[in-house]
Amino acid sequence: MFDKFDDLPEKLAHLEGRLSDPSLMNDQQAYRKVAREHAHLLKLHNLYSQYQQVGIDIENNLQLLQGDEDAEIQELAQAEIEELKEKEVALQSDIRLLLLPKDPNDERNTFLEIRAGTGGDEAALFVGDLYRMYSRFAESQGWKIEVMSSSPLGTGGLKDIVALISGEQVYSKLKYESGTHRVQRVPETETQGRIHTSAVTVAILPEADEVEVDIKMNELKFDVFRSSGPGGQSVNTTDSAVRVTHLPTGLVVICQDEKSQHKNKAKALTVLRARLFDQVQQEHHDKISLDRKKQVGSGDRSERIRTYNFPQGRLTDHRINLTLYRLDSIMDGKLDEVIDPLIHHDQAEKLKEIE
């Protein structure tokens, strides 16, 4: 596994030279790519150096064990060998994880789309609850979240909401959230205390660069209209809302949250670009669907991935049989205890494939 690690210092020196090149600074996208590669190799180099040193320390203690007849020294050497071997196994595991193929989208900013499914008003209310959950999680990660479009209802819920989440490693953490989220609770309007089951869908779409998705303006149809909503200041008196239809695919994006038609148009095109990028990726992944079904990050929009049971305070992730009785804290944005097990499970499955 470590045959090609000896040239790591040379590769690091080459990347450090590129990072100090003034011409690279003018291309921020290329600079970030080189910087990420340098950080990855540096971490790999440091872990491998530790691994090599542990091997040397084990060998030294073995020699001490064989060459020194003092019982106390032999006991100390044996104890240190056992400790070093545990460290060696842990370092091997860390290095293997770094060698796993990287998802090229992991570093991207991400669009979060939440839409009400079955359940009427209760589903619409849960759309808002999930959006608050993801917003608080984003805040805890130091990410920025910006609403691109939303469809509020008079009941206080949301028919749908689309937001752009920006920051480090956003897609790598949120990509496991795509799918159907089921909620079981007693609605406020339920007089007999019966539990209702509703569902919403969540889609996680990586943000696409303009160079990756070429949108031809002659393939777009633009419609403008007055924004809709429950009333008050959110409803404009001018035609500022924008509907963009991509004629070749039939994809439609509506943005109405901004008071400026120009800003709504720009947001709609950004969302459309992400959906077209995701469509291309989905077509590619469908070709290898059997492999993807083994992974928790398959992104299957129709898959029921999670149940939120409020009467029991229980969250269940059906993909990895994870059950937690801390629903209140999770809905308050403490999603790490759900996301981390999904990441570890996915990594374990991928490690099995290369071992």
Q: How far apart are CA 326 and CA 195, in angstroms?
A: 19
| Average model confidence (pLDDT) across the chain | 84
Provide the token pair at 55: 């091997």
Q: Which of 349, 342, 344 is nearest to 178 (CA)?
A: 342
Domain ranges across the chain: 5-99, 110-349
154 φ/ψ angles, rounded to the nearest 5 degrees: -65, -20
pLDDT at 190 over 80: no
Residues 171-185, mean pLDDT to the nearest whole number: 93
Q: How far apart are CA 43 and CA 27, in angstroms?
A: 24
311-349 pLDDT tens trace: 999 999 999 999 999 999 999 999 999 999 999 898 888
Q: How far apart are CA 341 and CA 352, in angstroms?
A: 17
pLDDT at 299 over 50: no
Angle at 35 between CA 33 and CA 40, to 5 degrees: 95
150-164 pLDDT tens trace: 888 877 889 999 999
Q: How far apart are CA 257 and CA 309, in angstroms?
A: 32
pLDDT at 233 over 80: no
CB 232 within 8 A of CB 244: no
Q: What is the DSSP string of 322-335?
A: EEES-HHHHHTT--
153 φ/ψ angles, rounded to the nearest 5 degrees: -115, 160
| Of 6-10, 29-33, 265-269, the least confident | 29-33
CB 127 within 8 A of CB 114: yes
Q: What percent of the chain has pLDDT above 90?
A: 35
71-125 pLDDT tens trace: 888 888 889 999 999 999 889 888 887 887 777 788 888 999 999 998 888 999 9
Q: Which of 174, 99, 138 is nearest to 347 (CA)?
A: 99
Q: Which of 126, 107, 235, 111 is nearest to 172 (CA)?
A: 107
Residues β-bridged to residue 198: 183
Q: What does the pLDDT read at residue 291?
A: 45
From residue 176, how far is each of 43, 179, 298, 346 by CA, in Å?
A: 25, 8, 8, 10
76 φ/ψ angles, rounded to the nearest 5 degrees: -65, -40
Highest mean pLDDT out of 24-28, 208-212, 269-273, 340-344: 340-344
pLDDT at 253 over 60: yes
Residues 240-264, mean pLDDT to the nearest whole number: 85
Residues 276-293, mean pLDDT to the nearest whole number: 63
CB-count burial class (<10 Å; 0-12, 13-18, 19+) for 103 = middle
Q: What percent of the chain has pLDDT above 70?
A: 88
Q: How far apart are CA 43 and CA 45, in angstroms?
A: 5
Residues whose CB falls within 8 Å of the CB of residue 276, separated by 6 or more in sequence, listed in order:
208, 213, 215, 246, 249, 251
pTM for this one? 0.72
Cβ atoms < 10 Å from Cβ of 227? 22
Cβ atoms < 10 Å from Cβ of 21? 11
Q: What does the pLDDT read at residue 189?
A: 67
What is the CATH architecture of 110-349? 2-Layer Sandwich (3.30)
